[in-house]
Each structure stands twice: as structure tokens, then as C-alpha cells.
């Protein structure tokens, strides 16, 4: 059995983090899949999907760490081509990754106590993001 649905998330711009866990778990439950996997994928190149403890310290730490690795003020090849100010956004999102896959058992996501599925906006502007949630498994 395969189910796929889209989530919509409006972000506040660079560094905003959104907890998707509850919505994804609801989609898994409604899919009817009892055992399998759920893939959560951002449909865009300047935001990333990850698993982290969704708490205020890490909501600050992760974007700051990515800014240290790929600072907004540098000139990247992307900037030289497009001059849109978000070359670092593409690199940050690529490093974080565009998707995660989580096991499903008894119709629920199998995550540890302190694991939440997050979307991290790396772009410099607020965006309306689409996230594909694909659930594959057996009833």
C-alpha cells in the first residue's frame, strides 16, 4: 500500500524551524499503513528536512551553526550568477538534506522520545513550502 499527501507550511524566513511531527504522524495514521516507512521530502532547494530535538536552544543552535559553515555574507558562484542573496541558503539546505525516512510500526512513526521531524527554512525570505509525505507499507 502506498499513500502520498502534501503538507503546506508558511515559513518566516531564514532560520525559522517548524515541527512537522504531529502532522506527519496524522498522515501516517490516516494512510492505513501498519508497518512500513514514511518519507518526508521538501519540494524546494532552499529548505531542509531533518530530525532533531525541537526545543528553543536547538532552534537557535542549528541555524547559527549552518550560518558559520556557510555565512550569508560570502560571495558564492550562485550569487555571481543570480545576485539573489541566497547562495548560502542552497548550500545549507543541501547539507541538511531534502528528506528523511522514518520507520512506521502499528500505524505510527517510530521516533525516539526527543526526536521530532523538522523543516528548517534556509532562504532569506518567507516561503510557502510544500512537503510530500509518502507512506509505504502493509496494512
Q: What is the pLDDT of residue 82?
A: 87
What pTM did the predictor assign? 0.95
The DSSP H or E segment spanning 67 is helix 56-69
Would you state the torsion angle of the CA atoms of residues 27, 31, 34, 36, taken in this order, to the nearest 10 degrees?
A: -80
Residues paired with 131 in a beta bridge = 7, 42
pLDDT of residue 73: 67
Mean pLDDT, the chain cut into blocks of 10 residues (139 residues total): 98 98 98 98 98 98 97 85 91 97 98 98 98 97
Domains defined along the chain, listed by start: 2-138 (2.60.120.460)
Amino acid at each position: 500500500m502506498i499513500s502520498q499527501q502534501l503538507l503546506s507550511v508558511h515559513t518566516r524566513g531564514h532560520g525559522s524551524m517548524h515541527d512537522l511531527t504531529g502532522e506527519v504522524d496524522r498522515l501516517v495514521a490516516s494512510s492505513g499503513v501498519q508497518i512500513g516507512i514514511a518519507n518526508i521530502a521538501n519540494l524546494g532547494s532552499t529548505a531542509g528536512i531533518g530530525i532533531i530535538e525541537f526545543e528553543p536552544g536547538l532552534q537557535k543552535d542549528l541555524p547559527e551553526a549552518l550560518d558559520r559553515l556557510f555565512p550569508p555574507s560570502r560571495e558564492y558562484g550562485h550569487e555571481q550568477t543570480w545576485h539573489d542573496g541566497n547562495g548560502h541558503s542552497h548550500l545549507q539546505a543541501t547539507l541538511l538534506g531534502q528528506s528523511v525516512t522514518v520507520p512506521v510500526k502499528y500505524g505510527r512513526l517510530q521516533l525516539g522520545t526527543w526526536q521530532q521531524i523538522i523543516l528548517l527554512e534556509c532562504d532569506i525570505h518567507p516561503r510557502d513550502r510544500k512537503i510530500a509525505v509518502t507512506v509505504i507499507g502493509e496494512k
